[in-house]
Amino acid sequence: MGIVINPRGTAGSGKTTFARRILAAYGWPAGAGVQTLHRDGRDRPIAYRLAHPRGGRPLVVLGEYRGVRGGCDTIGRCDGGLPGALGLAADLSAGGHDVLLEGLVLSAEHRLSAAFARARPLHVLNLATSVDASARALAARRRAGPGSLPALVRKVTAEHAAVAAACARLAAVARVESLPFDAALQRALALLGLPGVRTVD
């Protein structure tokens, strides 16, 4: 059974960048070992399957990563939504793949995630990005002016509390760590058998 890595955080905390860095470590987007997985009736990829650069287990990263949003947030209701994404992750892990899944909706969720973690190794990496840094990143992504920051800070503050509460509830059934972005990235790479690999966007 493969391991499942779940980076969590608020909007603007770096989850999508984190996933793209992991993808890049496996040769995405153009590497020879990169396979795009599709589902009938869906134009965008449902996931990417990537050969391990050092011969370890293949990695599947759920969702699509060519746009601003990524991960589970790109898997809509017609594709099963969050339950469908977790079901796919469970099947892939049971089949010998390592799996990375992330998304804003997933970050504050705990009931489905707890049931998932009781049956397989789940590593939750809570990105310890400050509220201010997350709000500024979100403003830059939205191309919003400085006047938008107070509202974004309020939004991110509420999300931060929700993510922290979900992680606390998951600690009894999953390995939960709260780490700065770079440390979380290196922890994920070590779990995947790629310690010390340097990555770029």
- Domain annotation covers residue 121: yes
Q: Which domain holds residue 115?
A: 4-191
What is the SS3 string spanning the chain? CCCEEEEECCCCCCHHHHHHHHHHHCCCCCCCCEEEECCCCCCCCCEEEECCCCCCCCEEEECCCCCCCCHHHHCCHHHCHHHHHHHHHHHHHHCCCEEECCCHHHHCCCHHHHHHHCCCCEEEEEECCCHHHHHHHHHHHHCCCHHHHHHHHHHHHHHHHHHHHHHHHHCCCCEEEEECHHHHHHHHHHHCCCCCCCCCC
- Domain annotation covers residue 47: yes
What CATH number has the domain bearing residue 143? 3.40.50
Quick one: pLDDT at residue 146? 83
**pLDDT tens-place values along the chain, 201 residues long:** 899 999 999 999 999 999 999 999 999 988 788 999 998 878 888 999 999 999 999 999 999 998 777 899 999 898 899 999 999 999 999 999 999 999 999 999 999 999 999 999 999 999 999 999 999 999 999 988 888 999 999 999 999 999 999 999 999 999 999 999 999 999 999 999 998 787 776
pTM for the full model?
0.94
Quick one: pLDDT at residue 201? 63
Quick one: pLDDT at residue 196? 78
Quick one: pLDDT at residue 39? 86
Structural domains in the chain (count): 1
- Domain annotation covers residue 201: no
Quick one: pLDDT at residue 69? 77
- Domain annotation covers residue 198: no
